[in-house]
Structure 1
Amino acid sequence: MRAVVEAYARDGLFERWNVLLIATHVEGSMVRRLGAIVRAMTRFLSLNLSGQVLFTHIHAAAGGSFWRKSIFGLIARLFGHAVIFHLHSGHISGHIDRLPLVGQRIAGWVLSRFSCVVVLSEVWRTFVLRIAPTAEVAIVPNYVVLPTIEPVDPTPQLAEQALNLLFLGFVGSNKGVFELIPAVARARSAGYDVRLTIAGHGEVDKARRMAADLDVADAVSVIGWVDGERKLELLRAADVYILPSRNEGMPVSILEAMSWSIPVVATRVGGIPEMIDSGVEGLLVKPGDVESILDAILHLAADRHLLPFMGRAARRRVETEFSKDVVLPKIEAIYERLSRI
Structure 2
Amino acid sequence: MTRVLMVGSAEQSGGGVASVVRLMKGMPFWQKYHCGWLGTQIQRNYGVKLWYALKAYAKALFTIWGYDIVHFHTVPDRICLIIQMPVLLLALLGRKKIIMHVHMGNQLENHTKNKLFIWCLNRADRVVLLAKKWQKCFAEWFPTVKAKTAVIYNACAPTPTVDYSIKEKSIIMAAFLNYNKHPDLLLKAWKNLKADFPDWHLTIMGNGEVERFQTMAHGMALDDSVTFTGYITGKQKEDVWNRASIYCMCSRNEGFPMVVLEAWARGVAVVSTPVGGLPDVIEEGRNCLTFPFDDVDTLTVQLRRLMESSELRKQMAEYSKTFGERVFAPVKVNESIEKLYEEILNG
TM-score (normalizing by structure 2): 0.86
* 1:226 pairs with 2:241: no
Check the 8 A contact 1:187/1:194 in 2, yes or no: no
Give the Cα separation in 2 of the matches to 1:270 and 1:249. 5
Letter in 1 for 2:124: F
Give the Cα separation in 1 of the matches to 2:57 and 2:327. 36
Letter in 1 for 2:103: H
Match of 2:75 in 1: 61
Residue 96 (structure 1) shift: 0.5
Question: Which stretch shows the higher mean deviation, 269-278 or 178-187?
Answer: 269-278
Give the Cα separation in 1 of the matches to 2:304 and 2:226. 16
Match of 1:181 in 2: 187
* 1:129 pairs with 2:129: no
Letter in 2 for 1:293: L
Check the 8 A contact 2:162/2:266 in 1, yes or no: no
Q: 2:54 aligns with which of 20, 38, 54?
A: 38
Check the 8 A contact 1:172/1:178 in 2, yes or no: no
Check the 8 A contact 1:266/1:272 in 2, yes or no: no
Match of 1:88 in 2: 103
Give the Cα separation in 2 of the matches to 1:300 and 1:266. 13
Letter in 2 for 1:338: I
- SS of residue paired to 2:25: helix
Residue-by-residue CA offset, 1:181-210 (whole Å, 9 max, x unaligned): 121111113456431111111112222222
Q: 1:201 aligns with which of 202, 207, 214?
A: 207
Residue 269 (structure 1) shift: 1.5
Check the 8 A contact 1:112/1:136 in 2, yes or no: no
Letter in 1 for 2:91: A
Check the 8 A contact 1:162/1:193 in 2, yes or no: no
Match of 1:23 in 2: 39
What aligned pairs does 1:1-341 form with structure 2 within 5 A after superposition?
1-11=17-27, 13-48=29-64, 51-63=65-77, 64-69=79-84, 72-90=87-105, 92-97=107-112, 99=113, 103-104=114-115, 107-130=117-140, 131-132=142-143, 133-150=145-162, 163-191=169-197, 193-340=199-346
Letter in 2 for 1:35: W
Give the Cα separation in 2 of the matches to 1:235 and 1:114. 39
- Alignment coverage as a number of residue pairs: 328
Residue-by-residue CA offset, 1:198-231 (whole Å, 9 max, x unaligned): 1111112222222221111111110111222222
Change (3 A) 1:27 1:138: same
Identity %: 24
Which 5+ residue runs of structure 2 have no aligned equivalent?
1-16
Check the 8 A contact 2:81/2:117 in 1, yes or no: no
Change (3 A) 1:124 1:192: farther
Residue 300 (structure 1) shift: 1.3
Give the Cα separation in 2 of the matches to 1:219 and 1:297. 16
Letter in 2 for 1:4: V
Check the 8 A contact 2:287/2:317 in 1, yes or no: yes
Check the 8 A contact 2:107/2:253 in 1, yes or no: no
Check the 8 A contact 2:91/2:98 in 1, yes or no: yes
Check the 8 A contact 1:87/1:120 in 2, yes or no: yes
Give the Cα separation in 2 of the matches to 1:163 and 1:295. 17
Check the 8 A contact 1:240/1:264 in 2, yes or no: yes
Change (3 A) 1:92 1:304: same
Give the Cα separation in 2 of the matches to 1:147 and 1:162. 19
Give the Cα separation in 2 of the matches to 1:275 and 1:146. 18
Change (3 A) 1:34 1:127: farther
- SS of residue paired to 1:137: strand
Give the Cα separation in 1 of the matches to 2:306 and 2:327. 25
Which 5+ residue runs of structure 1 have no aligned equivalent?
none
Give the Cα separation in 2 of the matches to 1:62 and 1:194. 40
Question: Which stretch shows the higher mean deviation, 28-37 or 306-315?
Answer: 28-37
Give the Cα separation in 2 of the matches to 1:181 and 1:22. 40
Give the Cα separation in 2 of the matches to 1:67 and 1:95. 18
Letter in 1 for 2:138: V
Give the Cα separation in 2 of the matches to 1:331 and 1:305. 38
Check the 8 A contact 2:105/2:256 in 1, yes or no: yes
Check the 8 A contact 1:73/1:114 in 2, yes or no: no
Give the Cα separation in 2 of the matches to 1:166 and 1:20. 37
